[in-house]
Structure 1
Amino acid sequence: MAIELDHILVPSRDRLASAKLLAHLLGVPWSPTGIGPFAPVYVNDGLTFDFDQWSEPFPLIHYCFRVGEDEFDAILQRIRASGIAYRSAVHGPVDHLIDTAHGGRIVYWNEPDGHQWEMLTVSYARAQ
């Protein structure tokens, strides 16, 4: 069997609000209860993000989603409709632009706990 990532823990100040927001932006289901103390976001059939309530300080983590062109448009529309600031550079200022320098489209945004989310249509991390 190939190795696959099954779930990942996401530390948060408010696990329910954070899980609900990510699920809304991605257009995927979530639950206020899961196994243990987690609020799961069901990213796809094989990956769950388990939001866990932590007190500060906790590490700020970068998460990246590779999506299709149609999903990119739909998610970006939900980001815009939610009034979330986004940018075209990983450490850049909020510019409400889309990076197209890597053969696809990329945007970055931060959620209330400070984690950085990235959405791209073409992976620059590995050869195509």
Structure 2
Amino acid sequence: MPATFNHTIIASKDRQESARFYRDLLEAAEAPSWGPFTNLQLDQGVLLQFAEPPVEIQMQHYAFLLDDELFDRAYERLRERGVTHWADPQMRRPGEINHEHGGRGVYFKDPAGHAVELITRPYL
């Protein structure tokens, strides 16, 4: 069987708040949670697990490929909630989206300070 992506743990200051943020933004399904994890289910069986580590959280980057309709809804939710966002990862174009790779993209921070990217076309 070829390798496929199965799950990742996203360090959170408040795992419930972070899970809610991603669930609402990505329209992700809730999944059974256990132990220190609050879980969400994406397509293809990919699990996002949110946990509160007992150490300082280091910023990570998470990129999600969305169809155009979900991108529109997610971007509108970001704007409605006043989430600061940029068209570029260097954060030099605030309040904009980009049109790279034949699609659209946006960068912002999640409640734990991780860099999140939403794109409508894959890079490759």
* 1:112 equivalent in structure 2: 111
TM-score under structure 1 length normalisation: 0.88
Q: What RMSD, in angstroms, separates the aligned Cα atoms of the two structures? A: 1.6
Task: Find out whether 1:50 has 2:62 as its counterpart.
Answer: no
Mind listing any 5+ residue stretches in structure 1 that lack a counterpart? none
Structure 1 stretches of 4+ with a deviation exceeding 3 A read none
Paired residue total: 124
* 1:8 equivalent in structure 2: 8
Q: 1:13·1:55 contact (CA, 8 Å) conserved in 2?
A: no
Aligned partner letter, 1:26: L
* 2:60 equivalent in structure 1: 61
- Following the alignment from structure 2 to structure 1, what is the Cα–Cα distance between the partners of residues 62 and 99? 19
> Structure 2 matches for 1:70-109, cutoff 5 A?
70-93=69-92, 95-109=94-108
- Following the alignment from structure 1 to structure 2, what is the Cα–Cα distance between the partners of residues 35 and 78? 29
TM-score under structure 2 length normalisation: 0.90
- Following the alignment from structure 1 to structure 2, what is the Cα–Cα distance between the partners of residues 120 and 80? 16
Mind listing any 5+ residue stretches in structure 2 that lack a counterpart? none
- Following the alignment from structure 1 to structure 2, what is the Cα–Cα distance between the partners of residues 94 and 111? 18
- Following the alignment from structure 1 to structure 2, what is the Cα–Cα distance between the partners of residues 38 and 118? 23
TM-superposed CA distance for 1:119, in Å, is: 0.5
